Structure 1
Amino acid sequence: MFAEQRVVQFTCQGSSLIGILDLPERPLSRGVLVVTSGPQYRIGHHRHFTLLARVLAGRGIPVLRFDHRGMGDSEGEARSLDAVGEDMHAAARAFFAQVPEMRELVLWGLGDAAMAALRYAQADQRVSGVVLLNPRLAPRAGEAEAEAEAGPGALAQRVLAGLVGFDGAALVILGGADPAAQQLPALVARHELRCKCVTIAGAGRTFASRAWRDEVAEISANWIASW
């Protein structure tokens, strides 16, 4: 399906934010808002969001990806992903204004952005689903001591608590090369959650190969259209 690509400018707390909208000629009523993480190059495996948007838009799913305040082409002070709720709200408002056919949102996030998406999803009734790509389940360097004090698997438990608190549908896509990722399916299996877990064998944290990115896009598109 043909999809138009357009630049979208909107404001958040007085700052100008920039997004890219991939708009199919016959958009479905369920769109995808991509939540990005910190500053990054936009070539190589960091083109993942662009390639994902093209696949989804080709299936009729409108997609908006944007830079939150302090990142990329957007204005404002840099902030942590714990403080981008207002940015997501502004992006969602602009998304619905651009696509009047849209009735609900799926949030899609990688790593730390997956947790930011999950937190926001609990506060916005228009969000009917989340796609969490390798949500961070192990501490970064320098965080190991604090995480050990919190007990093993504390980050996985945090993701699980977010899923328990969200009433919508959830898809978790994990890279099989990340040992920490294998904690989550076992935890989800113990609870009656509306959550599907998929592991891509051999894939790392950022799904850096074209084959892995294509598989992520196909899994995401098929799941979004399945309910």
Structure 2
Amino acid sequence: MFAEQRAVQFSCQGNSLIGILDLPERPLARGVLVVTSGPQYRIGQHRHFTLLARVLAGRGIPVLRFDHRGMGDSEGEARTIDALADDVDAAIRAFFAQVPELRELVLWGLGDAAMAALRYAQAEARVAGVVLLNPWLAPRADAAPDMLAQRVLAGLAGFDGAALLILGGQDAAAQQLPALIARHALRCKCVTIAGAGRTFASRAWRDEVAEVSANWIASW
């Protein structure tokens, strides 16, 4: 399906934020907002987001990627991953304004951005699902749940929507999560990409992540 790529400018607390919207010619009512963290560079591993957006838009799923305050082309002071609520809220408002067909969103995040997406999803009724890639966890030799793993479990328990967890097979820290999720009977689909590391830094792994994401988003 043909998709238009459109630059989007919107405001957050008086600062100008910049995003890129991948808009299919016949957009579905469920879109994806990509939550990012820290300084991003548009080639290398972070080109993952561009390639993901193209695959999803080709399936009819509109996608908005954006630079939060203090990052990339957006104005404002740099902020921590725990202080993005206003930025995400502003991006959601802009997304719905740009795509009248939208009725609900999936938040998609990698690493610590996955933690931010899960935290925000609990407070926004228009967020129907989350895709979490390798939530940022510290490895432990005894495989016991650390504080960050407990935050993931608490976030899933407090979220009423659908959840997809995608893990790299070589990320030893994140591999503890499926067993913990099953033990606590939490509603979350878990998928492991064999051989992939923390950032899915190969075209084959990124393509598999995009396919898994697209298929899951269209399945409910």
CA contact (8 A) 2:40 2:71 kept: no
CA contact (8 A) 2:145 2:176 kept: no
**Structure 1 counterpart of 2:179, which letter?**
A
Equivalent residue number for residue 55 of structure 1: 55
Please give the alpha-carbon distance, in whole angstroms, between the structure 2 residues aligned to 1:76 and 1:204.
Answer: 32
Please give the alpha-carbon distance, in whole angstroms, between the structure 2 residues aligned to 1:41 and 1:30.
Answer: 27
**Structure 2 counterpart of 1:111, which letter?**
G
**Structure 1 counterpart of 2:9, which letter?**
Q
Identity percentage of aligned residues: 87
TM superposition shift of 1:135: 0.5
**Structure 2 counterpart of 1:127, which letter?**
V
The CA deviation string for residues 46-94 of structure 1, in whole angstroms up to 9 with x for no partner, is 1000000000000000000000000000000000010000000000000
Secondary structure in structure 1 of the residue aligned to 2:208: helix
Q: Report the CA distance shift for 1:75/1:154 in structure 2 as closer, same or farther (over 3 A).
A: same
Please give the alpha-carbon distance, in whole angstroms, between the structure 2 residues aligned to 1:10 and 1:197.
Answer: 34
The CA deviation string for residues 141-194 of structure 1, in whole angstroms up to 9 with x for no partner, is xxxxxx99xx75221111111100100000000011011111100011113322
What TM-score results when the alignment is normalised by the length of structure 1?
Answer: 0.93
Alignment of 1:154-169 (within 5 A): 154-169=147-162
Please give the alpha-carbon distance, in whole angstroms, between the structure 2 residues aligned to 1:58 and 1:69.
Answer: 29
The answer to whether 1:73 aligns with 2:73 is yes
CA contact (8 A) 1:35 1:108 kept: yes
CA contact (8 A) 2:4 2:25 kept: yes
Equivalent residue number for residue 91 of structure 1: 91
Equivalent residue number for residue 180 of structure 2: 187
Secondary structure in structure 2 of the residue aligned to 1:179: coil
Task: List gaps (5 residues or longer) in structure 2.
Answer: none
Task: List gaps (5 residues or longer) in structure 1.
Answer: 140-146
Please give the alpha-carbon distance, in whole angstroms, between the structure 1 residues aligned to 2:11 and 2:145.
Answer: 41
CA contact (8 A) 1:153 1:183 kept: no
Equivalent residue number for residue 43 of structure 2: 43
**Structure 2 counterpart of 1:193, which letter?**
L
Moved more, 182-191 or 59-68: 182-191
Secondary structure in structure 1 of the residue aligned to 2:101: coil
Please give the alpha-carbon distance, in whole angstroms, between the structure 2 residues aligned to 1:24 and 1:45.
Answer: 25
Equivalent residue number for residue 105 of structure 1: 105
Stretches (4+) displaced over 3 A: none
Secondary structure in structure 2 of the residue aligned to 1:38: coil
TM superposition shift of 1:40: 2.5
What TM-score results when the alignment is normalised by the length of structure 2?
Answer: 0.96
Please give the alpha-carbon distance, in whole angstroms, between the structure 1 residues aligned to 2:145 and 2:100.
Answer: 46
Residue correspondences, number? 218
TM superposition shift of 1:42: 1.3
Equivalent residue number for residue 30 of structure 2: 30
Q: Indicate which of 161, 176, 196 corresponds to 2:169.
A: 176
TM superposition shift of 1:27: 0.2
**Structure 2 counterpart of 1:90, which letter?**
A
**Structure 2 counterpart of 1:124, which letter?**
E
**Structure 2 counterpart of 1:39, which letter?**
P
Equivalent residue number for residue 144 of structure 1: none
The CA deviation string for residues 6-36 of structure 1, in whole angstroms up to 9 with x for no partner, is 0000000000000000000000000000001
CA contact (8 A) 1:4 1:23 kept: yes
CA RMSD of aligned residues (A): 1.3
The answer to whether 1:217 aligns with 2:210 is yes
Please give the alpha-carbon distance, in whole angstroms, between the structure 1 residues aligned to 2:187 and 2:26.
Answer: 29
